[in-house]
A and B are shown apart, each in its own frame.
Chain A
Amino acid sequence: MSSQAWINLAYLTASMLFIVAFKQMSGPRTAVRGNLLGATGMAIAILAACFEQPVTTSIAEYGIWPLFMLIVFAAIGGGIGATMAIRWPMTGMPQMVALLNGFGGAASMLVAAAELTSTRAVSRFEESARQASAAASLEPWTQFAIAIGLACFIGSVTLTGSLVAFGKLQELPQFKKPWDNPNRQWINLALAVTALFLLWGVFGTSQLLFFLLLVLVAAALGVTLTLPIGGADMPVVICLLNSYSGLAAAAAGFVIDNSVLVIAGSLVGASGLILTAIMCKAMNRSLLGVLFGGLGTTSTVDADEVYAGKIKSAETEELAMILEQADRVVIVPGYGLAVAQAQHAVRELADVLEARGTSVEYAIHPVAGRMPGHMNVLLAEADIPYEQLREMDDINPSFPETDVAIVIGANDVVNPAARNDPDSPIAGMPILDVDKAQTVIVIKRSLSPGFAGIPNPLFAADNTLMYFADGKKALIELTAAVTRD
């Protein structure tokens, strides 16, 4: 076998390992192995790349120095990445993923740019031009230019889009106010049309200028597309950018004709698209609605009408007594819980209840948190067992047999209007059916509405008791009260 064949075999092995890695993500135990297999695949692919003919030619010409240089840069990058990964807090996971997406997109863009400036590209263009005079088209160049143009475009949008998403998630002061320029759709359209023209332009030229302009326009588009998106829609943006970073890698694979880039890139692209669809469905939003519009319909329900005279609030001792008599308790955490850093307080309450023989489970809505599955990670960090974390479809049928449901920091995702009121802006949104539990305890500071901006009939229901307090403080007091008895 030629050395190129061995390299291709290594790439094939890496690709297969990536697929197995995704496959093993189906359970928490196998997932650890899957992640290690993915890393192994990556190591194999990286090692194989060092034996590619362009690299070995350089080594033959200049000695070991080129390889040394590659290793140094890879080691610095790896060191930075690993340090970030070890130190980053779990509440900030969406920010980290956003930042890494951006770096991945930028890297793919740079690969395309590097290939464009190489002598290989120049000779390819000249050869195309020579053939064109004989035949009728610039065909060989066109194939190449489409790929370079796409890699530059997607990579650049991913980079700036991710940086804006990072800024918003990190709540940097510059991103506090959402950008609500009334003409923003026109600005986006103008940028997109310009990008299309530039893409078309690069097919007929080897001028670096066109690519540079394309990268700049794409960078602007990444900013203008991400800037207006509201905080509640961030999970969708994270998924979408994740998908883009994969597609950018796949496009880079087209540029340098490398199958492992294409395979890994499209796997990630598919993963991001699936998660985007799941998030949109869980929020009852269309993808176009998230990207281009506000919530659409506004609330017609008056909060006073829903709440007037029907709100029952309870004191700590009363709630503690109810909890002590319960056989089965389901805790419904929302992102408010994570903001209050109350995960450990939740677990302490659960520990006390379990010690008394009560069964405790957690009902996790798909959008609880700021990225898909985020709440599960935050609860796992507080040593809550994986088996107690239950998905929405899985736990919903068991709410009628639940004695007490405790809602902390969640609002729209437990709003029965989504099920009962066809005129509600959230009508049809999948919710956790906590209202079917015997007793519902809602821990909340006030009756303020959630992201959807609508009142929640759950708070006024006969079986609901409101506990107006800060989430963490409320949990600590409840735990103390249950322990006392």
Chain B
Amino acid sequence: MNITLLANLLPLFAATPTPAEDPASTFIRLLTVFLLAMWVGFEVITKVPQRLHTPLTSGSNAISGVTVVGALVVAGSLTTGFGTLFGLLAILLAMINVAGGFVVTHRMLEMFNPKKK
């Protein structure tokens, strides 16, 4: 039963709708993905110990920089001057977020795991 459920959910991950998909369906498809991921997030993150909550925050911070994907697409499409400018600025800011977040998280986690002397 779970397998059929999964099979039904798989098309949700398709990023681009079939040409026939109407906007309301697109919206609901993305909303489904959103709510399911939210739920997975709650399940997984409640298991993180409080001792690691700072690296969790900075690590999740880095992951929120995923908006760089959107920035690359809108900047790369070169449709209008403004669009490209906004997109490039977004790439810059999102990449500061991504690189800063992952590197500082690594730095912190290394401190929790001191090298054997």
Interface string of B76-114 (1 = CB under 8 A from A): 111110111111111111111111111111111111111
- Residue of A84, A261, A262, A272 with most partner-chain B CB within 10 A: A262
- Residue of B13, B39, B69, B102 with most partner-chain A CB within 10 A: B69
Interface string of A26-62 (1 = CB under 8 A from B): 1111011011101100100110111010110110001
Interface string of A49-80 (1 = CB under 8 A from B): 11010110110001000110110011111111
Interface string of B4-20 (1 = CB under 8 A from A): 00000000111111000
Which residues does chain B contribute within 8 Å of A45, judged by CB atoms?
A: 66, 69
The smallest beta-carbon distance between A28 and chain B, in angstroms, is 4
Q: Determine whether the beta carbon of B57 is less than 8 Å from that of A391.
A: no
Which residues does chain A contribute within 8 Å of B97, judged by CB atoms?
A: 81, 100, 103-104, 107, 245
Please tell me which one of the listed residues B14, B56, B94 contacts residue A373 in the complex, with CB atoms under 8 A apart. Answer: B56
Add 14 more A-B contacts to A18-B63, A70-B76 (CB < 8 A). A11-B15, A46-B68, A52-B73, A77-B99, A85-B100, A104-B67, A107-B97, A114-B75, A142-B23, A245-B97, A265-B64, A267-B41, A372-B57, A392-B50
Q: Determine whether the beta carbon of A79 is less than 8 Å from that of B99.
A: yes
Q: List B residues at the A interface (Cβ < 8 Å).
A: 12-17, 22-24, 26-27, 30, 33-35, 37-42, 44-80, 82-114
Q: List A residues at the B interface (Cβ < 8 Å).
A: 4, 7-8, 11-12, 14-15, 18-19, 21-23, 25-29, 31-32, 34-36, 38-39, 42, 45-46, 48-50, 52, 54-55, 57-58, 62, 66-67, 69-70, 73-82, 84-86, 88, 90, 93, 96-97, 100-101, 103-104, 106-108, 110-111, 113-115, 117-120, 139-140, 142-144, 146-147, 238-239, 242, 245-246, 248-250, 252-272, 274-275, 278, 364, 366, 369, 371-374, 376-377, 380-381, 383, 385-386, 389, 391-392
With contacts A253-B30, A274-B42 taken as known, whether A100 is within 8 angstroms of B100 at the C-beta atoms is yes
Which residues does chain B contribute within 8 Å of A36, judged by CB atoms?
A: 106
User: How many angstroms from the CA of A391 to the CA of B68 in the assembled complex?
Assistant: 36
Which residues does chain B contribute within 8 Å of A262, judged by CB atoms?
A: 30, 33-34, 37
Q: Which residue of A lies closest to B10 (CB)?
A: A12
Q: Determine whether the beta carbon of A28 is less than 8 Å from that of B50.
A: no
Q: Determine whether the beta carbon of A376 is less than 8 Å from that of B54.
A: yes
Q: Determine whether the beta carbon of A144 is less than 8 Å from that of B23.
A: yes
- The secondary structure that dominates the A interface is helix
